[in-house]
Structure 1
Amino acid sequence: MKHLKFTLLICLFAAQTGFAQKKIELNEIWDGTFKTQVMQSANAMPKSNQFSRIEQLPSGAQVINIYDFKSLEKTKTAFDNSLFKDIESIDDYSFDKKEEQLLIGTNSRPIYRRSFSADYYIYNIKTGKLTPVANHSVMAPSFSNDGTKVAYAYKNNLFIYDITNQKTTQITQDGNKNQIVNGISDWVYEEEFGIVRMFEWSKNGDKIAYIKFDESQVPEYSMDVYGTDLYPSQNKFKYPKAGEKNAEVSLYIYDIQNSSSHQVDLSEFNDFYIPRIKWTNDNQYLSAQVINRHQNDIKLYFIDGNTQAKTLILNETDQAYVDIHDVNFFDDNQFIWTSERDGYNHLYHYDKNGKLINQVTNGSWEVTNYYGIDSKTKTLFYQSVERGSIYRDIYAINLNGKNKKQLSSALGTNNAVFSPDFDLYINTYSSVKTAPVYTLNKAQSGKIVKEVLNNKKLENTLKEYQLPEKEFIEIPAADGTLLNAWILKPSDFDTNKEYPVFMYQYSGPGSQQVADKWLDSNDYWHAMLTQKGYIIVTVDGRGTGFKGADFKKITQYELGKYEVEDQIEAAKYLGKMPYVNADRIGIWGWSYGGFMSTNCILKGNDVFKAAIAVAPVINWRYYDSIYTERYMKTPQENPTGYDSNSPFFFADQLKGRFLLIHGTADDNVHVQNSMAMIEALVQNNKNFDWLIYPDKNHGIYGGNTRLQLYTKMTDFILNNL
């Protein structure tokens, strides 16, 4: 009997000590403690059916290694920066079509979200010779298809460097900062159409098509740069806000042999965008997508490179808006077009004259990625949400829409990188339970050939923290629509207790926060808050993505109406749960999510006790033309839609605790938004907190910035919710 008591005592002691939950510290979120091991980006090499990637050696040197897709074994090192004193780091690289030369960028200097300039060199893999493209930094260099020339942008003009004779030809002459931009997108195209290079080589390399932006009439935005000098400086750039003048765009084709540019006649259009240009696989024809300012009428043209005559190939309209997608051409110029015309995002097959052959995918679900076609078997590969909008799977289907096959099996998020010959693919799988796992799979069956990389070590580390697992639930909106949500409860959750709830969301059109995938930094922060006794909930309201066009486009003309209603209704729903303290519900978000959380603390002032808004839009009149008008039209056309849901106009309704955060160098959502909100709150004599980060952009990071930011937000929550 004494022995039994002693054994029980040991077990109780072990339960209280050895198996106690380890607490997450904020610094661990940012110091790499929870970092996942990743397979560095694989860049396909079509000619050799291999892939390349940048890797860092223990010595600190960076190399570009080439791997065989079938064995995943390294075949050779294409470049080693330790052999060249001018290449301190490999910031960017690309192969020519023959895979005999490399363009290597170093000393890169960021410009906006995607754009940068760098010092570029041409490296001949056979000879080992390294040659500078220019004696200054350049933007977006690109090999001609025959590998004899490189085109690039510099100071808003386009240039061609001839590798053979080492001579440079200037294509355009009129480039000038904040006036004329040749071949590179302006700020708003880069941000909203997701593109930087706006010039393209023809297949034979005898022509270059490019877009010219005349932004001389676009209003200018200025940002003070405080830096460390005695006096601050100013950064001025053209930023077209909603309803304001856009850059005037024009399309040109430059003939290498004649050294002359010819403009394509688009005079029938007024106030329009050219979001994509791409040469077809017929060297004679360039494709160009032209869309109206309202972005609900898009036309695809084929343009004769010799005569500049254009032929309308496809025209698509929508009552709300048409999303921009790349056109994917086959060898004979048939192509795949992506469209929501039947209410869901699907793939359509057209012939080279624009005649619809068939709808390849079909169903009340969305295609989320198109990987390409195996020309041997006429099999298309794509990613979709066929097993539910929070999941992602890989599928194969015949070009005629038959013989669909699900290649991935594990429920969660699957993504693929296919070999150029489409015989194999590298699958990345994760879920809320499984950290990323990389496997090599057969493309025709999905069968795993071998495991490449896993994160078991991280999963074992996390066992010490006993992190709560996301529970996926559905919460009804006011109209009965079921909304995807996840909930995180403390690991020692007790149904007999009442807990405060802290909600996180983004809510922007077509976005998604509720997905079955592995954790990000916010997830670890949220898990840390559960360890302090909070329940965390995220709800994807109406207007978010992957549940069909009607669900996504319900917010048209009224951004912030239905999304805010849904967050308020969700908070009320949660407040009725027996284990939720309805008097202690808060909400936070970043960017569009900050717009949302600000609206919620104002319009839902009887529901939310506290809110945090990071880099929020406060008034849609302050945001850019392409994004805002896509959903709202212009302020001149839709003033009520702009004003009735902009928190700037409801500052007098603040009751709860509010923390407003912004960076002064935010070129995307300008700090002007927060300054306007601060002034409105001050004039309404409201008590609130605010935090400004000097010279930090929309991401608010660098050094200890993120750690300090999340420390501030944590303290705010602990003290006010």
Structure 2
Amino acid sequence: MRKIQLLFGIILISLTNGFAQTQLSVEHIMQDPKWMGNFPSSVSWDEQGKNIYFNYNPEGNPADSLYKININATGKIEKVSLEEQKKQVPRFTNSNLNQSKKLFVEDGNIILFEVATNSRKTVLNLGERISSPKFLANEDLISFEMSSNLYVMDLKTGKIEKKTNIKSGNKPVSREEQKMGERETWLKKDNLELLQVVKEREEAKEASKIYREAIAEEEKFAHYLGTGQAMSLQLSPDEKYATFLQFIRAENKRTVVPDYTHASGYTTDINTRSKVGDEASKVELFIYDIDNEKVYKVSTSDLEGITDLPDYTKDYPEKTWEAKERSVSLGSPIFSPNGKHAIVNIRSDDNKDRWIARINLEDGSLKVLDRQRDEAWVAGPGIGSSFGGGTLGWLPDNKHIYFQSEETGYSHLYLLDVNSGSKRALTNGQYEVFSPFISKDMKSWYLTTSEVHAGERHFYRMPLMGGKMEKLTSMTGNNDVSLSPDEKHIAILYSYSNKPWELYLKPNDTKSEAKQLTNGQSEAFKAYNWRDPELVAFKAQDGANVPARLYKPEPSKSNGAAVIFVHGAGYLQNVHKWWSSYFREYMFHNLLTDMGYTVLDIDYRGSAGYGRDWRTGIYRHMGGKDLSDQVDGANFLISEHGVQAGKIGIYGGSYGGFITLMALFNAADTFTSGAALRSVTDWAHYNHGYTSNILNEPFNDPIAYKRSSPIYFAEGLKGNLLIAHGMIDVNVHFQDVVRLAQRLIELGKDNWEMAVYPVEDHGFVEPSSWTDEYKRILKLFNDTLLD
């Protein structure tokens, strides 16, 4: 009788903490998320710091709309009209030094916005595509990009000057280079002597050509891109140099994903990504010396350690490894405020090195200021990629640069004197730093850290040259702050483990309390008393403390079974004190707990938030420590929380699906059943950017791929496996599970099933798909884990 009740998910209504506990079902929690309520996102301010803008949807429209709250009014939430939206200044603009003026492009025009008067005017309209307007050191001058070249406009006179002459294709062949052979010369001469009209036309064409070449000689020097294209053009603030990245795209074969449900009624092909190990596109950095009319490439051949071999090569003694100059990718240079100096971020394509170097603008040579070497791969909060995205810039003194590094094992903020080379950490400890930026008065840093707890985020202020940090937020959970332009107030998107995101406001000080501005939870959502999962830690086989979230049923309802959830990857944390991006799974865990299951959600090796060693714990062996952490979690549930051996299931999507497969294949004595959703089955078929970081390249490090790919271990399946996958998944291709299915068939396995979703990509969209998938997961666990 007990099993029948659990199978149908019958949950009696009970009183918990004074609230009526409503019944949960898969259909209920997997419906369109709008049932949960209406929660703010994408917070920004107007330029005067009077209004907070955010996306919101109190009317239940098909998509969010823009709303605002005037901080000096009654807190009324108002919808922003389309007319007002058109007048808004875009979020990404270029400001002058004191941020009193801003530049942006709108409808092909360069717009100058005056913050004090809240006014805008069009300063340039050429009828051409214009981009990237920027103030120069002389703020009466602005630069902009048009037709892959840089121009300067004088805002006072309106005069425009072209600063570069970059052209696509190859340099035209000169007349001397076009000389014909003896035979061709005789034939042409003879033909022109015979045909007078042809001769006259040829003479006119030749005269025109001589004229064009004479005019061209008077024009500026030209740089030809050949087969490449120019990217990230910028002019130095002093107008003496321009820089650009020359990009040459690699032509790789791409995987085709068939769409069997295309609206046309025909099967159509979606061209998606290439696979790991394919040839990389080439990116080179060039300097354009404007006064001397020459272009030269920035050379990386003298970088410290440029020929270093990675440690993993020692595992292949039979192979001859040549210590040669490694290929690298360079970012766009960052100029000092006065324009006299520039630094650049450089990454080795094998992911082992990041250099920050000073560029000699006169010849393109480099001086390394900081090198971060990691035998796994260089990454972490604020470190970014070769193209940017990380923390890197200049202080106003034109002398110090700032950046983040995992030198201590955690990502922290550093200052470096470019003249002396001295470096010092502004933050330090076993926590991470996120998104630091300099205050408007150039006297302080603002930054977010996990200093209080790995599962919390708080906002701080710190003196520019380092010192005591002032904690400006106090609510336990995640405080995602947007600072007002005048820096007098902070808008906070805040959430807690069982409370979705809401908008708060407080003065920019350490004492004031935050005031809640939105209250978006629906009555249907509030009717259930959502659990606050307990944050726990258990010992791993290697002695590490593994963080996890624990959902425990009432002792009287416990069925002795457990489910372990494995979050996806990229670089992700899910054991924290804020509202999870896995909100559907969170609700499903509440449902499971109501039914008597114990649920554990683990931040296994490879998860974000715990420093370099945790981040790289999966290097060269996915399915190693990340899998043993799941096994150790299962043993923790058995020894500490009354879970019975043989009654433990596991599930997850993407990387979580991959771990589920490895668990069913390589830890079959621990896990009785598992649901692998949108799972990678063979890492040699995944993308390059993610996979080569962790496993290197398959032709260089086949050991790493063979011990990390589930398809090689399918013979180990003993328990019960559900595979679920979207058929138009352009991230983890449907091909992955098709190949695994064939492998299971050839092995004679019959304890598995597959559910396919014809209209779904990697992230499911349709409530019907979510519902079907999770009804199957629930049935799997009920059928195989309960007595």
- Shared fold (TM-score greater than 0.5)? yes
In structure 2, distance between residues paired with 1:13 and 1:657: 32
Displacement of 1:651 in angstroms is 0.7
Displacement of 1:222 in angstroms is 3.0
In structure 1, distance between residues paired with 2:773 and 2:89: 28
In structure 2, distance between residues paired with 1:575 and 1:415: 37
Greater shift in the superposed pair: 598-607 or 508-517: 508-517
1:144 aligns with 2:134: yes
Match of 1:220 in 2: 254
1:371 aligns with 2:436: yes
Work out whether residues 575 and 602 of structure 2, in 8 Å CA contact, stay in contact via their aligned partners in 1.
Answer: yes
In structure 2, distance between residues paired with 1:396 and 1:250: 38
In structure 2, distance between residues paired with 1:103 and 1:423: 28
Seen in structure 2, the aligned counterparts of structure 1 residues 216 and 357 have a Cα distance that, compared at 3 Å, is closer
Match of 1:115 in 2: none
Counterpart secondary structure, 2:403 = strand
1:341 aligns with 2:402: no
In structure 2, distance between residues paired with 1:695 and 1:266: 47
In structure 2, distance between residues paired with 1:248 and 1:39: 37
In structure 2, distance between residues paired with 1:692 and 1:259: 60
Residues 187-198 of structure 1: matches in 2 within 5 Å? 198=232
1:440 aligns with 2:505: yes
Match of 2:40 in 1: 38
1:316 aligns with 2:348: no
Displacement of 1:256 in angstroms is 8.5
Larger RCO, structure (CA 8 Å, separation 6 or more): 2
Displacement of 1:124 in angstroms is 7.5
1:387 aligns with 2:452: yes
Work out whether residues 509 and 553 of structure 1, in 8 Å CA contact, stay in contact via their aligned partners in 2.
Answer: no
Seen in structure 2, the aligned counterparts of structure 1 residues 538 and 200 have a Cα distance that, compared at 3 Å, is farther
Match of 1:478 in 2: 541
Report Cα offsets for 1:186-217 as digits up to 9, x if no partner: xxxxxxxxxxxx55565478876443332335
Report Cα offsets for 1:199-243 as digits up to 9, x if no partner: 55654788764433323354433333442335434344663513x
Greater strand content: 1
Seen in structure 2, the aligned counterparts of structure 1 residues 617 and 446 have a Cα distance that, compared at 3 Å, is farther
Counterpart secondary structure, 1:498 = coil
Greater shift in the superposed pair: 398-407 or 15-24: 15-24
In structure 2, distance between residues paired with 1:238 and 1:690: 25
Residues 466-615 of structure 1: matches in 2 within 5 Å? 466-490=529-553, 493-495=554-556, 497-506=558-567, 508=569, 511-519=572-580, 520-577=583-640, 579-615=642-678
Q: Of 270, 275, 298, which residue of structure 1 is paired with 2:354?
A: 298
Displacement of 1:652 in angstroms is 0.8
In structure 1, distance between residues paired with 2:365 and 2:374: 27
Letter in 2 for 1:144: K
Residues 74-93 of structure 1: matches in 2 within 5 Å? 81=82
Counterpart secondary structure, 1:607 = coil
Work out whether residues 45 and 484 of structure 2, in 8 Å CA contact, stay in contact via their aligned partners in 1.
Answer: no
Work out whether residues 13 and 23 of structure 2, in 8 Å CA contact, stay in contact via their aligned partners in 1.
Answer: no
In structure 2, distance between residues paired with 1:71 and 1:259: 58
Match of 2:284 in 1: 250
Match of 1:679 in 2: 742
Work out whether residues 492 and 504 of structure 2, in 8 Å CA contact, stay in contact via their aligned partners in 1.
Answer: yes
In structure 1, distance between residues paired with 2:522 and 2:624: 40
Seen in structure 2, the aligned counterparts of structure 1 residues 521 and 238 have a Cα distance that, compared at 3 Å, is closer
Q: Of 250, 256, 265, which residue of structure 1 is paired with 2:299?
A: 265
Residues 415-430 of structure 1: matches in 2 within 5 Å? 415-430=480-495
Seen in structure 2, the aligned counterparts of structure 1 residues 439 and 533 have a Cα distance that, compared at 3 Å, is same
Work out whether residues 588 and 613 of structure 1, in 8 Å CA contact, stay in contact via their aligned partners in 2.
Answer: yes
Displacement of 1:630 in angstroms is 2.0
Seen in structure 2, the aligned counterparts of structure 1 residues 439 and 62 have a Cα distance that, compared at 3 Å, is closer
Seen in structure 2, the aligned counterparts of structure 1 residues 379 and 562 have a Cα distance that, compared at 3 Å, is same
Q: Percent identity?
A: 20
In structure 2, distance between residues paired with 1:509 and 1:202: 35
Letter in 2 for 1:232: T
Provide the aligned length of Structure 1 versus Structure 2.
Answer: 662
Counterpart secondary structure, 1:698 = coil
Counterpart secondary structure, 1:458 = coil
Displacement of 1:360 in angstroms is 1.0
1:632 aligns with 2:695: yes
In structure 2, distance between residues paired with 1:504 and 1:152: 51
Letter in 2 for 1:403: K
Structure 1-normalised TM-score? 0.78
Seen in structure 2, the aligned counterparts of structure 1 residues 256 and 220 have a Cα distance that, compared at 3 Å, is farther
In structure 1, distance between residues paired with 2:463 and 2:625: 39
In structure 2, distance between residues paired with 1:158 and 1:673: 44
Q: Of 135, 159, 173, which residue of structure 1 is paired with 2:168?
A: 173
In structure 1, distance between residues paired with 2:509 and 2:35: 38
Counterpart secondary structure, 1:645 = coil
Report Cα offsets for 1:619-662 as digits up to 9, x if no partner: 22222333223222333443222211211101111122222233
In structure 2, distance between residues paired with 1:478 and 1:573: 11
Seen in structure 2, the aligned counterparts of structure 1 residues 710 and 134 have a Cα distance that, compared at 3 Å, is farther
In structure 1, distance between residues paired with 2:428 and 2:289: 42
Work out whether residues 90 and 104 of structure 2, in 8 Å CA contact, stay in contact via their aligned partners in 1.
Answer: no
1:229 aligns with 2:224: no
In structure 1, distance between residues paired with 2:550 and 2:708: 27
Seen in structure 2, the aligned counterparts of structure 1 residues 13 and 720 have a Cα distance that, compared at 3 Å, is closer
Match of 1:355 in 2: 421
Letter in 1 for 2:258: D
Seen in structure 2, the aligned counterparts of structure 1 residues 165 and 648 have a Cα distance that, compared at 3 Å, is farther
Letter in 2 for 1:229: S
Displacement of 1:49 in angstroms is 5.9
Counterpart secondary structure, 1:681 = helix
In structure 2, distance between residues paired with 1:204 and 1:694: 57
Displacement of 1:338 in angstroms is 0.9
Seen in structure 2, the aligned counterparts of structure 1 residues 653 and 14 have a Cα distance that, compared at 3 Å, is closer
Residues 58-73 of structure 1: matches in 2 within 5 Å? none
Seen in structure 2, the aligned counterparts of structure 1 residues 567 and 277 have a Cα distance that, compared at 3 Å, is farther
Seen in structure 2, the aligned counterparts of structure 1 residues 704 and 400 have a Cα distance that, compared at 3 Å, is same
In structure 1, distance between residues paired with 2:436 and 2:73: 21
Work out whether residues 22 and 464 of structure 1, in 8 Å CA contact, stay in contact via their aligned partners in 2.
Answer: no
In structure 2, distance between residues paired with 1:206 and 1:703: 57
Seen in structure 2, the aligned counterparts of structure 1 residues 15 and 498 have a Cα distance that, compared at 3 Å, is closer
Greater shift in the superposed pair: 142-151 or 166-175: 166-175
Match of 1:657 in 2: 720
Displacement of 1:414 in angstroms is 2.3
In structure 1, distance between residues paired with 2:598 and 2:92: 47
Letter in 1 for 2:285: L
In structure 1, distance between residues paired with 2:611 and 2:635: 26
The alignment yields a C-alpha RMSD, in angstroms, of 4.6
Match of 2:22 in 1: 21
Letter in 2 for 1:645: S
Displacement of 1:716 in angstroms is 4.2
- Bigger radius of gyration among the two: 2
1:451 aligns with 2:507: no
Greater shift in the superposed pair: 249-258 or 664-673: 249-258
Counterpart secondary structure, 1:583 = coil
In structure 2, distance between residues paired with 1:525 and 1:161: 58
In structure 2, distance between residues paired with 1:143 and 1:509: 34
Letter in 1 for 2:694: Y
In structure 2, distance between residues paired with 1:675 and 1:158: 48
Displacement of 1:495 in angstroms is 4.7
Letter in 1 for 2:168: Q
In structure 1, distance between residues paired with 2:745 and 2:448: 49
Report Cα offsets for 1:526-584 as digits up to 9, x if no partner: 22333344332101123323333233333322222011011012112213456424322
In structure 2, distance between residues paired with 1:572 and 1:133: 69
Match of 2:212 in 1: none
Counterpart secondary structure, 1:42 = strand
Greater shift in the superposed pair: 556-565 or 210-219: 210-219
